[in-house]
Amino acid sequence: MDRHYSAVDRLLIRLQDAVSTVVAPPQAPARANPAAELADPELTDAERRHAAGLMRVNHAGEVAAQALYQGHALAARSSEVRAHMLEAAGEERSHLLWCEERLRELGEGPSKLDPLWYAGSFAIGALAGLAGDRWALGFVEETEKQVSEHLDGHLEQLPEDDARSRAIVEAMRDDEERHGREAVEAGARPLPGPVRRLMRGVARVMTRSAYWI
């Protein structure tokens, strides 16, 4: 449907997406929470705070993912790539809501810097899209690769008994790996080394900040 809209219409839709991502009240995810049938574990205060910090980082990452895909979609040159980006954004939306739900269960909230993560990531996504669809897909591939590595690290750090957080992170990781493969299949162009290193540096800043703020 998005391919039939004018450029102004698509911009307004993307602005609406931004509002719904950053400031809208919680809503039901399109996909069932993978932790829905699991018991909530008994955690020590230290374990709970650490799990909440990690899930806040994951939530911030999903805010950024929404923005990246929406920025890519806004600047995409072909309707096929735009549809690809919006479909992936829809799946990432479920990740965002799963993380919100787990944060509430842990007695914590999202990062107060979410608007910053969204604005910066949307700008990066739009710029990558302006560079061309293959570059934008390459950006998706590298992003998902780095996110998958990051989620693997969280699985090593989460409390062993926190099955609910683990189930969410595992499902997210599987989706991110698939998104990366799909980007390659769609014609992603590998990013230069300096760009990949810059992306890792920006990700470190976000993860260290979102854990606490």
Residue 2 has pLDDT above 60, yes or no: no
pLDDT of residue 178: 92
Amino acid type, 117? W
Mean pLDDT of the chain: 85
The class level of CATH for 2-10+43-212 reads mainly alpha
SS3 of the chain: helix, strand, coil, percent, to 5: 75, 0, 25
Residues 65-116 pLDDT 10s: 888 888 888 888 888 888 888 888 888 888 999 999 999 999 999 999 998 8
- pTM (predicted TM-score): 0.84
Q: How far apart are CA 114 and CA 77, in angstroms?
A: 28
Residue 2 CB neighbour total at 10 angstroms: 16
For residue 30, what are the contacts with CB-CB under 8 A and spacing of at least 6?
A: 90, 93, 94
Max mean pLDDT range (63-67, 73-77, 152-156, 198-202)? 152-156
Residue 165 has pLDDT above 70, yes or no: yes
Give the residue carrying structure tokens 């990700």. Answer: 203
Angle between the 79-105 and 163-185 helix axes, to the nearest 10 degrees? 170
pLDDT of residue 30: 64
CA 39 to chain centre: 25
